[in-house]
A = this chain, B = another copy of it.
Amino acid sequence: MNVLVWNEFRHEKENEVVRDIYPEGIHAQIASFLGEEDIDVKTATLDEEEHGLTDEVLAETDVLVWWGHKAHDEVDDAIAEKVKQRVWDGMGLVVLHSAHFSKPFKKLMGTSCDLKWREANDKERMWVVDPSHPITEGIGEFIEIEKEEMYGEHFDIPTPEELIFISWFSGGEVFRSGATFRRGRGKIFYFRPGHETYPTYYNKEVQTVIKNGVNWVNNNDTPQPVYGNAHPLEDILSKA
């Protein structure tokens, strides 16, 4: 499986707090724990040519992991469109935290993807609400994160096809934190945690969920739909 971890990679350059946590960038940290599995992991970032998302790179990517926050608008529309179409073609997509507002995710959802938020060191508890789902393998009843940015409902997404986690926040909000969607041959997993000023991607349970998500969205050889003008009815009847 070829996994590409894409990161905006701006906060880390501009903000010392973030750089201290992720000195090589959020993408490097995510690639690091994914690399412990039997996975071929590469990374790409916004400021690379074509954002590191050339046709060749996309064509050979089985699963794309996306983190972005402050520079969604700098992602070229044509490239966001290509990412969307690769998902339709079967590439898996794991969308992390503030990438709820990324261009590819919004194009794929058809909603505003808006939400409530607060940066105030809320405690978060992500409760498992689907204990049959492989994305929950290896974790317990809930994942607790001592301090995180709060994301609250209403989260303006289409009804998830599978709802796996619901977050509780100490300030009084709830959030659908782990949710899956299908678009064409592609599977999508949205996973909430990971504000850049917290060391969330060092949390072992968060890592487990991301690994499980990468495995779950990977598509191995499902059928290729055929569209357009179909065989004439007479041909069918003559064969009957």
Contact = CB atoms under 8 A, between A and B. Distances in A.
A110 B108 contact: yes
A147 to B, nearest CB: 11
Given A141-B154, A174-B166, A133 B230 contact: no
State the number of copies, please: 4
Interface string A228-240: 1111111011001
Contacts of A161: 158-159, 162
Nearest to A107: B110
A58 B181 CA distance: 30
Interface string A86-113: 0010100000000000000001111110
A36 to B, nearest CB: 18
A72 interface: no
A118 B233 contact: yes
B111 A221 contact: no
Q: Which of A132, A223, A232 has the most CB of B within 10 A?
A: A132
Interface string A4-34: 0000000000000000000000000000000
A222 B137 contact: yes
Interface of A: 84, 88, 90, 107-112, 114-118, 120-123, 125, 127-134, 136-141, 150, 152-156, 158-159, 161-163, 166-174, 176, 181-187, 219-234, 236-237, 240
Given A159-B162, A170-B233, 11 more contacts: A116-B230, A118-B230, A121-B233, A122-B233, A131-B225, A132-B219, A141-B226, A154-B227, A158-B158, A161-B162, A166-B166
